């Protein structure tokens, strides 16, 4: 399908690996020029080179922590007028309610709620003026169904979801479309790390843990980042112009509900 976004310009945050990289790759395949970001410069440069060589689009990269004001400023200096913004960052640490200090809460709210909100605030005026924009926030299935050991993530991402629910409706009339994409378990370094931790704790192999997790998913397997990237690219496409403030769950059916 022609996504109708060739030669558009995108910022993809936290995109040297995992879900962010997969989104960048599918946007590049649709002809979108990219500015990608992550903290580790070597990994990021490799990712940018791969995308530019494989897809023939312009790819800039900014090595910075996107959860800092300076990091966001550095990204926006390189791409001040994006047509597309993909908000993404690492997730907060695991634990339970009694573990977290006020500082932990502030860090989680900053990373997974305020950072995407501040980026949206920066790019929305230009998108509104140009009468076209697409914003996709990578949140989590935890927004629909809390993950017991990820309370910081559950809460911060719900805050972002509330902001999007209101704001998306205020900008849609200007051709600017904001939606959230909610990953369930996807095979990335982050999930692999959690699997290895769990395997060590239970004295079984990571393969066994992954297999057990896959059995909890009606689709029968963990999510593939590439499928995630394809869905995100669709949400950024010309065809998604009537899809406003949705929370699109990509979890292979793991969340059991009628609607
Ligand atoms: P991942 O494989 O660990 O990749 C994370 C990417 O983000 C890397 O490129 C990393 O590069 C970059 N990054 C992390 N923190 C950053 C920061 N502060 N500033 C800039 N770049 C940063 O993780 P993932 O699985 O793709 O997860 C992406 C998001 O989806 C996370 O918020 C995660 O909690 C959420 N999520 C994932 C799953 C899943 O199953 N994978 C499920 C639900 C939600 P550097 O380390 O070099 O910065």
Domains in the chain, CATH or no CATH each: 9-186+224-250 (3.40.50.720), 187-222 (no CATH)
| Alpha-carbon gap, residue 163 to 30, rounded angstroms | 29
| Alpha-carbon gap, residue 59 to 71, rounded angstroms | 18
pLDDT at 72: 98
Taking only Cα atoms into account, the Rg of the chain, rounded to an integer number of angstroms, comes to 18
Percent of the chain past pLDDT 70, that is, above it, reads 100
Ligand 1, atom nearest to 141 Cα? 43
Cβ 3 under 6 angstroms from ligand 1: no
Residues 20-29 pLDDT 10s = 999 999 999 9
Residues 37-78 pLDDT 10s = 999 999 999 999 999 999 999 999 999 999 999 999 999 999
Q: Residues 104-130: what's their mean pLDDT?
A: 98
Ligand 1, atom nearest to 16 Cα? 9
Q: Which residue's CA is the nearest one to ligand 1's atom 41? A: 186
pLDDT at 21: 98
pLDDT at 19: 98
Name the average pLDDT for the chain: 97
Cβ 89 under 6 angstroms from ligand 1: yes
Cβ 194 under 6 angstroms from ligand 1: no
Residue 18 alpha carbon to ligand 1 centre in Å = 6
Residues 171-191 pLDDT 10s = 999 999 999 999 999 999 999
pLDDT at 199: 95
Q: Which of 188, 222, 227 to mutate to test the pocket of ligand 1 (most atoms within 8 A of CB)?
A: 188
pLDDT at 186: 97
Which residues have a Cβ under 8 Å from the Cβ of 109 and sit 6 or more positions away? 155, 156, 159
3-state secondary structure of 31: coil
User: Would you tell me the crossing angle of helices 18-29 and 225-235 to the nearest 10 degrees?
Assistant: 50
Ligand 1, atom nearest to 66 Cα? 19
Cβ 161 under 6 angstroms from ligand 1: no
β pairing state of 176-183 and 133-138: parallel
Cβ 180 under 6 angstroms from ligand 1: no
| Alpha-carbon gap, residue 164 to 198, rounded angstroms | 34
Q: Which residue's CA is the nearest one to ligand 1's atom 3? A: 190
Q: Residues 222-227: what's their mean pLDDT?
A: 98
Binning pLDDT at 50, 70 and 90, where does residue 34 land? very high
pLDDT at 223: 98
| Alpha-carbon gap, residue 35 to 82, rounded angstroms | 9
Residues 241-259 pLDDT 10s = 999 999 999 999 999 999 8
């Amino acid at each position: 399908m022609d996504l109708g976004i060739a030669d558009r310009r995108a910022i993809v945050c936290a995109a040297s690996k995992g879900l962010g990289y997969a989104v960048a790759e599918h946007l590049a395949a649709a002809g979108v020029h990219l500015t990608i970001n992550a903290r580790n410069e070597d990994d990021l440069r490799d990712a940018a080179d791969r995308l530019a060589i494989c897809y023939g689009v312009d790819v800039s990269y900014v090595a910075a922590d996107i959860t800092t004001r300076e990091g966001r400023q550095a990204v926006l200096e390189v791409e001040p007028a994006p047509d597309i913004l993909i908000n993404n960052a690492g997730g907060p640490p695991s634990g339970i309610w009694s573990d977290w200090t006020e500082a932990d809460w502030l860090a989680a709210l900053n990373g997974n709620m305020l950072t995407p909100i501040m980026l949206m605030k920066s790019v929305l005026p230009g998108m509104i003026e140009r009468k076209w924009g697409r914003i996709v926030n990578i949140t989590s299935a935890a927004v629909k169904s809390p993950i017991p050991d990820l309370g910081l993530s559950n809460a911060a991402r719900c805050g972002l979801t509330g902001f999007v629910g209101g704001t998306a409706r205020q900008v849609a009339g200007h051709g600017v479309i904001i939606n959230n994409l909610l990953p369930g378990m996807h095979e990335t370094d982050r999930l692999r790390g959690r699997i290895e931790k769990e395997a060590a704790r239970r004295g079984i192999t990571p393969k066994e843990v992954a297999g057990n997790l896959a059995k909890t998913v009606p689709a029968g397997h963990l999510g593939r980042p590439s499928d995630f990237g394809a869905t995100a690219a669709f949400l950024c496409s010309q065809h998604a112009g009537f899809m406003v403030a949705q929370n699109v769950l990509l979890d292979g059916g793991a969340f059991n509900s009628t609607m």
